[in-house]
Amino acid sequence: MRAVAQRVSRASVDVDGVRIAAMERGLLALVGVARTDTGEDARSLAAKLVHLRVFEDAEGKMNRSLLEVGGSLGVVSQFTLLGDVRKGRRPAFGEAAPPAQAEPLLEELVEAARAEGAPVVTGRFRARMDVALVNDGPVTILLDTTRQF
């Protein structure tokens, strides 16, 4: 699984002009699922996201986690994170999991994050979404369960 996690002061997701999710302080994670991903990847990424120390402590150092600051986690499916542009200019999505595989793994990630104690809001799988956010910092972290970066 691959994620772009952004520390946000607020974020929201709209589908067809209707707000389906909103959150205040926390992390917004855009998540792509690869064909090779398993439930272990989903649980590992969930734990990483809720324990990622990207919030400031009393000394101004990024030393606190989402759970420690009482923040929310937003999870939005984004298969385009698996786009490969090494050959040419048009992304190839051969590494992205098909919807029947990706959706249950995203749900497992969400449930694992909730089990860790994080309030979680989500986008809508396979919907065209308008995602709005205010990146706090800005702080943006790239995560990959295969540790490619």
Q: What does the pLDDT look like over 97-121, one tens digit per residue?
A: 999 999 999 999 999 999 999 999 9
Residue 93 known to be catalytic? no
- Out of 36, 38, 55, 78, the active site residue is 78
Query: Over 80: is that where the pLDDT of 149 sits?
Result: no
Residue 79 known to be catalytic? yes
List the chain domain ranges: 2-141
Section 82-88 average pLDDT:
94
Section 79-104 average pLDDT:
96
CA–CA dist 64, 7 (Å, integer): 12
Section 127-133 average pLDDT:
98
Q: Across the chain, what does the average pLDDT equal?
A: 97
- Residue partners of 62: CB distance under 8 A and separation at least 6: 53, 54, 55, 56, 139
- Residue partners of 136: CB distance under 8 A and separation at least 6: 7, 8, 9, 25
CA–CA dist 82, 2 (Å, integer): 8
- Residue 52's pLDDT is 98
- Residue 100's pLDDT is 98
pLDDT tens-digit map of 23-49: 999 999 999 999 999 999 999 999 999
- Out of 6, 36, 55, 80, the active site residue is 80
- Out of 55, 79, 122, 145, the active site residue is 79
Residue 78 known to be catalytic? yes
Residue 148: pLDDT band by 50, 70, 90 thresholds?
confident
- Residue 35's pLDDT is 98
CA–CA dist 46, 51 (Å, integer): 9
Homologous superfamily (CATH) of 2-141 is D-tyrosyl-tRNA(Tyr) deacylase (3.50.80.10)
Rounded to two decimals, what is the model's pTM? 0.96
